[in-house]
Amino acid sequence: MTHSPMRWLSALPLALCAASCRTNPAIPFQDDHWQFFVLGGTGAVKDDYVEHRDHLALEVVVPREGTSGWAYEVALRFAQGEGAGLREMGSSQGGGFQRSERELDFREIAIGTRQVYRQGSIFEPYYGVGLSYVLTESDESFIDTNGVPHGDGDHYHDYGIYMRTGIHWNTLRGVLAEDTEVKIGLDVRGLYATDYSALEFALALGIGR
């Protein structure tokens, strides 16, 4: 008898639930704990041309012993968005307005802290704040009123503060390695920056102890 891949995939949530609901004791925050996450998602960015951007983040979280759930977090974040709008032409370009296409690339370093609630349980909500430095590269192209193509590129150094909240589902506790668990989560993050503020929604997959 053959088993289709979809049949195995349909059984995966039941296996994860069974692993996470085992009666193993909760893992408390201890001084040798660490957590590594990969996050991916989409969101909105404040720009005249680009309204949405997709992002990927690599994040390390280090819980602090004896602080009732406080932890440090450091992340490298990458995002990209593209869009179009009307650009005013100068007198040498024939005047008027022409369609212009813009692509934005973001590279961000974020450092902050978070408060984790119900640490060690199956579901862990959290709230975090921190500081960000963002290097943004802009690539714009348009054809002026005279029919002449143009390209315009620039880069910006952006600084901001962020706030975030989310929840992790802790599963496969002690299955992959001793004292480790897999974390699956949802994350919502708002960034208020000098040039490009953003609101992001992401799925998170991590491992930690």
- 3-class SS of residue 12: helix
* Total domains present in the chain: 1
pLDDT in tens, 45-93: 988 778 889 999 999 999 887 677 899 999 999 999 988 777 767 666 6
Residue 193, pLDDT above cutoff 60: yes
pLDDT in tens, 6-25: 444 344 444 444 444 444 43
Q: Which domain holds residue 32?
A: 5-208
Query: What pLDDT, on the 0 to 100 scale, is given for residue 83?
Result: 80
pLDDT in tens, 131-151: 999 999 988 776 766 777 777
Compute the distance between CA of residue 167 and CA of residue 156 in angstroms, rounded to an integer. Answer: 33
45 burial type by CB count under 10 A (0-12 exposed, 13-18 middle, 19+ buried): buried
CATH number at residue 199: 2.40.160.20
Compute the distance between CA of residue 177 and CA of residue 172 in angstroms, rounded to an integer. Answer: 9
